[in-house]
């Protein structure tokens, strides 16, 4: 038993065990402070499905040694464009979703390629540059949203008929169409978003398969030891470019899944801080700057979204005040700082 516990701690890591116990504690306290347990579980599951693919978008770039994808907004912008076009075309249901994804992918590839060109020129400080690429792309698109020729009445400003609104509802277009596949309701307060979780699972499986292919293994090697990869005739810059494109494309798909559950397309400053929760989640899952696996993504998303959903509601009920935003910011940024200072210890 003692050995088993020791092994568990070793393989899971203290951070995850502590957060896991904290999450468990929150679930236990919840009923005592008039927070409904079933609603809480539902919220956590929905949020895991919503954010999962965005967290997954961290994996390719980490594996290829480009660091954390602080430039996630680049992918998100591609996804937003896809979704906007789908709404503009008056599409509904699954057709709308898949059209949105299909349109966003080539945009993501294009944007990802240019993003990668910059990343490959700043080896060693990718993350700092990526942060600025993310921020400045959001700023640039603030102008873009104003002047792009969209005209669907639900999307543009009512008084001028031009320029996109900050928040656009997708209730008529594709809200919950993926979540609702095979979904079920238990009682009045519990809804299980089967389709969205299946989609997340499939995306994870696809990424897993990719990293077992020749290209995927080469990408991992580039991240772990570029000179090793080069001496085995792997083109380092090509692999890094591919990984950035892959991450950007996953970001685009991720935001579309997010929107269909959230019910709104958020433009302008919406994508600005989207990268941080995703980064915090994958780090919390046990990823480091050099290594990230699918397990890290799944565990991290669950723990992070769990804590971030539960902590504010439970603590607010206990303290009779609204601290939710503060707790969220402390948690997500705290996780990032923790992970950046961490070093892996090898035993020999």
Partner 1 sequence: MKRKEPLLRLDNVGKEFFGNKVLDKVNFSVAEGEIVGLVGENGAGKSTIMNILFGSSVISSTGGYEGKVYLHGSEVSFANPFEALEAGLGMVHQEFSLIPGFTAAENIVLNRETTQYNFMVELFGDRLSDLDREDMILRACKATTRLGINIPPDTLVSDMSVGQKQFTEIAREIENADTKLLLLDEPTAVLTESEARTLMDSLRRLSPQGLGIIFISHRLREIKELCDRVVVLRDGLVISDVPTAETEIEQIAEWMVGRKVGRTAVRKKDISQESVLLNIKDLWVDMPGETLKGLDLDVYEGEILGVGGLAGQGKLALANGLMGIFPARGEVEYNGKPFPLCDTAKAIDGGLALISEDRRGLGLLLDEELHLNIAFTALQSKGLFLKKYLCGLLTQLDFQETIRRANEFIESLNIKCTGPRQRVIELSGGNQQKVCLAKAFVCEPKLLFASEPTRGIDVGAKKMVLDVLRKYNEEYNTTIIMTSSELEELRSICDRIAIVSEGKVAGILPPDAKAKEFGLLMS
CB of 36 to partner 1, least distance (A): 45
Cβ atoms of residues 69 and 245 within 8 Å = no
CB of 232 to partner 1, least distance (A): 4
> Which one of residues 9, 225, 269, 319 is an interface residue with partner 1 (CB under 8 A)?
225
| CB-side neighbour CA atoms (13 Å) of 106 | 3
Q: Does 295 bind partner 1 (CB under 8 A)?
A: no
- Alpha-carbon radius of gyration of the chain: 21
State the Cα–Cα distance between residues 148 and 156, nearest whole angstrom.
10
Give me 26's structure tokens: 């929150």
Considering beta carbons, is residue 123 or 224 the nearer one to partner 1? Answer: 224
Location of structure tokens 């896809």:
82
Q: Does 290 bind partner 1 (CB under 8 A)?
A: yes
Q: Does 341 bind partner 1 (CB under 8 A)?
A: no
- Residue 110 falls in which region: left (phi positive, over 0), alpha (psi -120 to 50) or beta: alpha
Considering beta carbons, is residue 225 or 295 the nearer one to partner 1? Answer: 225
Q: Which 3 state secondary structure label does DSSP give 260?
A: helix
Nearest residue to 72 via CA among 244, 198, 237, 241:
244
Location of structure tokens 């772990």:
224
State the Cα–Cα distance between residues 100 and 97, nearest whole angstrom.
5
Select from 39-47, 98-106, 132-140, 229-237 the region that touches partner 1 (CB under 8 A).
229-237
State the Cα–Cα distance between residues 58 and 106, nearest whole angstrom.
19
State the Cα–Cα distance between residues 97 and 102, nearest whole angstrom.
9
> Which one of residues 3, 160, 227, 321 is an interface residue with partner 1 (CB under 8 A)?
227
From residue 266 to residue 285, the character string flagging contacts with partner 1 as x (rule: CB under 8 A) and all else as - is --------------------
Alpha helices in 30-71 (DSSP H): 37-56, 59-63
CB of 210 to partner 1, least distance (A): 10
Considering beta carbons, is residue 239 or 249 the nearer one to partner 1? Answer: 239
Cβ atoms of residues 279 and 70 within 8 Å = yes
Nearest residue to 52 via CA among 219, 250, 244, 192:
250
Nearest residue to 248 via CA among 114, 343, 153, 141:
114
Select from 5-13, 113-121, 232-240, 327-335 the region that touches partner 1 (CB under 8 A).
232-240
Q: Does 11 bind partner 1 (CB under 8 A)?
A: no
Give me 134's structure tokens: 């993310």
Considering beta carbons, is residue 35 or 287 the nearer one to partner 1? Answer: 287
From residue 182 to residue 211, the character string flagging contacts with partner 1 as x (rule: CB under 8 A) and all else as - is ---------------------------x--
Considering beta carbons, is residue 210 or 272 the nearer one to partner 1? Answer: 210
Select from 115-123, 131-139, 226-234, 292-300 the region that touches partner 1 (CB under 8 A).
226-234
> Which one of residues 78, 107, 156, 221 is an interface residue with partner 1 (CB under 8 A)?
221
> Which one of residues 87, 196, 234, 252 is an interface residue with partner 1 (CB under 8 A)?
234
Considering beta carbons, is residue 104 or 220 the nearer one to partner 1? Answer: 220
Give me 21's structure tokens: 């116990």
> Which one of residues 3, 11, 233, 320 is an interface residue with partner 1 (CB under 8 A)?
233
CB of 84 to partner 1, least distance (A): 32
Angle at 99 between CA 78 and CA 260, to 5 degrees: 75
Q: Which residues bind partner 1 (CB under 8 A)?
A: 209, 212-214, 217-218, 220-221, 224-225, 227-234, 290-291, 346-348
């Amino acid at each position: 038993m003692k050995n088993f516990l020791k092994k568990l701690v070793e393989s899971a890591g203290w951070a995850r065990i502590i957060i896991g116990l904290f999450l468990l504690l929150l679930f236990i306290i919840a009923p005592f402070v008039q927070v409904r347990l079933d609603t809480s579980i539902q919220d956590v599951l929905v949020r895991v499905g919503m954010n999962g693919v965005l967290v997954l978008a961290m994996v390719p770039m980490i594996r290829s040694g480009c660091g954390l994808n602080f430039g996630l907004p680049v992918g998100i912008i591609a996804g937003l464009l896809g979704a906007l076009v789908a709404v503009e075309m008056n599409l509904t249901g699954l057709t709308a979703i898949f059209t949105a994804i299909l349109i966003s992918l080539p945009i993501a590839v294009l944007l990802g390629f240019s993003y990668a060109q910059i990343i490959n020129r700043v080896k060693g400080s990718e993350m700092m540059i990526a942060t600025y690429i993310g921020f400045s792309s959001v700023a640039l698109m603030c102008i873009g949203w104003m002047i792009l020729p969209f005209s669907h009445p639900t999307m543009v400003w009512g008084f001028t008929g031009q320029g996109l609104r900050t928040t656009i509802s997708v209730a008529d277009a594709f809200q919950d169409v993926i979540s609702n596949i095979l979904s079920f309701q238990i009682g009045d307060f519990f809804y299980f978003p089967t389709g969205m979780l299946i989609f997340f699972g499939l995306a994870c499986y696809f990424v897993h398969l990719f990293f077992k292919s020749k290209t995927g293994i080469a990408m991992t090697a580039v991240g772990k030891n570029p000179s090793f990869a080069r001496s085995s005739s792997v083109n380092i810059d090509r692999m890094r470019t591919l990984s950035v494109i892959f991450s950007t494309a996953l970001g685009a798909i991720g935001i579309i899944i997010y929107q269909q559950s959230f019910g709104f397309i958020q433009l302008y400053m919406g994508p600005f801080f989207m990268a941080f929760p995703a980064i915090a989640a994958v780090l919390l899952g046990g990823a480091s700057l050099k290594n990230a696996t699918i397990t890290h993504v799944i565990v991290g998303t669950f723990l992070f979204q769990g804590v971030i959903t539960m902590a504010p509601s439970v603590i607010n009920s206990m303290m009779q005040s609204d601290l939710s935003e503060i707790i969220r910011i402390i948690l997500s940024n705290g996780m990032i700082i923790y992970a950046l200072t961490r070093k892996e210890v090898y035993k020999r």
